[in-house]
Amino acid sequence: MDFIDFTFLDFLDITLVGVLLYYVYKLLKGTVAINIFIGITMVFLIYKVTQALKMEMLSSILEVLVGGGAIAMLIIFHPELRKFLLMLGSANIGSKRSFINQLKFLKTEISSEVDVEAIVSACNKMSKSKTGALIVIERNNSLDFVKERGDYMNAEINVPLLESIFYKNSPLHDGATIINENFVVATRVVLPLSDKSIPSRFGLRHRAAIGITERTDCICIAVSEETGKISLIKDGEFELFESKEDLIDKIKLHLD
């Protein structure tokens, strides 16, 4: 009965695979890519079961799907894979501390130190003056692919800073501002636009906010230049809120 010949190495193998899948799931949780990952994982598990049961026809079909899934994973996650391989090939990998620091891009929890109150306070002030603004709060998914379209910055969040960025005569006011943890990391960022049909009262800022939240798990706050209305966008959808305090609570909830 080779099928039930279960050794310690088999147990170790299954445990390590389980841990790996768990951390990959945490990394992708809340993103569009998670559905693709879960689908590929399920196909692979079914493939291994049919292979063990010697169901040759079904396993051969699933083998083709698994091969295609591997290619899809390489395409979808190629920025993360490239960064990881570059890290492995770096000269600093001999240093344990350096190695751990370079693995920070795999973090799965966003820092709770984002000064949400300052962001919302700045948006309220800009709302009263009808100053258009688009703020993107980065979460688990890297936004490096859009940051490079703008100007890099490394400034801690405060109300005057955000107001000065979006002041109509400021050279930085066009485009989006990206926040990571408690720092403004990029300004004048051009975001991908959504093809979704939205009410005519919403402009390019809102279409861009929907576009980036459709592709990543970030949160967007948009201030309309025409009406001064503040909008919260996540997962390509507008989220309703009743007050400044409610908006703060909703953003904090998404960042936890």
Angle of CA points 228, 231, 232, to nearest 5°: 155
Q: Is the pLDDT of residue 126 over 90?
A: yes
As a residue count, the chain comes to 256
Q: Is the pLDDT of residue 69 over 60?
A: yes
Largest CA distance in the chain: 78
Nearest-CA neighbor of 161 among 146, 143, 177?
A: 177
Q: Is the pLDDT of residue 166 over 60?
A: yes
**Residue 188 burial by CB count (10 A; 0-12/13-18/19+): exposed, middle or buried?**
middle
Q: What is the DSSP string of 94-124?
A: GSHHHHHHHGGGG--S--TT--HHHHHHHHH
pLDDT of residue 39: 78
Higher pLDDT, 25 or 85: 25
d(CA 247, CA 230): 10
d(CA 77, CA 172): 31
pTM of the model: 0.61
d(CA 20, CA 27): 11
Instruction: Provide the CB-side half-sphere exposure for 39 (13 A, CA).
Output: 11
d(CA 122, CA 116): 10
Q: Is the pLDDT of residue 148 over 50?
A: yes
Q: Is the pLDDT of residue 159 over 80?
A: yes
What's the mean per-residue pLDDT of the chain?
Answer: 81
Find tokens 């109150």 and name the residue: 117
Local structure of 60: helix, strand or coil: helix
pLDDT of residue 66: 76
Q: What is the mean pLDDT of residues 70-79?
A: 69
User: How far, in Å, are 3, 14, 19, 52 from residue 6 at the CA level?
Assistant: 8, 11, 19, 13
Q: Is the pLDDT of residue 81 over 90?
A: no
Contact criterion met (CB below 8 Å) for 167 and 173: yes
Share of the chain above pLDDT 90, in %: 35
Could you report the per-residue pLDDT of 191-242, keeping only the tens digit for each? Answer: 988 888 888 778 889 999 999 998 888 999 999 998 999 999 998 899 989 8
Q: What is the mean pLDDT of residues 40-62?
A: 84
Determine which helix (DSSP H) or strand (DSSP E) holds 211, and give its type and residue range: helix 204-215
